[in-house]
Amino acid sequence: MKKVLIVDDQNGIRVLLMEVFTSEGYTTFQASNGKLALEIVRNESPDLVLLDMKIPGMDGLEILKHVKAIDRSIKVIMMTAYGELDMIKEATDLGAVMHFTKPFDIDEMRLAVNMQLRRDGENNSKYAIGS
């Protein structure tokens, strides 16, 4: 079963995203700060992290750097309430696969996560599909 970690300092967003991705069949974890997020990354090895850009203490870019240092294969989708193109570009350069600007469309987020996590399985298949 694929694992999704939601990192956001806003409890409402964490609860909403946990409900959505639990109902999609993923094992979900949540963290309200960078320290807890990195602990979960080390202990649970999530397949994908939904990461808020602005978190008190350790910001999203710093958390992203640590996540990628722990395991480069973890997919990270950034979330931001701001349109900081320079931060979004830096996040992409650091390995984030995409970003969403808040308020985001929950269905678009769900589709994006499903696409990222299902792509894993397709890349790992050892057989050809079709003829």
Residue-range domains of the chain with CATH: 3-119 (3.40.50.2300)
> Is the per-residue pLDDT at 128 higher than 90?
no
| Helix (H), strand (E), coil (C) string for 87-104 | HHHHHHHCCCCEEEECCC
For residues 85 and 103, the model is more confident at 103
Predicted TM-score (pTM) of this structure = 0.90
Question: Got the DSSP string for 30-96?
Answer: EESSHHHHHHHHHHH--SEEEEES--SSS-HHHHHHHHHHH-TT-EEEEEESS--HHHHHHHHHTT-
Q: Looking at residue 86, what is its pLDDT? A: 82
Beta bridge partners, 76, equal 49
pLDDT in tens, 9-59: 999 999 999 999 999 999 999 999 999 999 999 999 999 999 999 999 999
pLDDT band, residue 85 (cuts 50/70/90): confident
**Mean per-residue pLDDT over the chain, rounded:** 90
Is the CB of residue 19 less than 8 Å from the CB of residue 46?
no
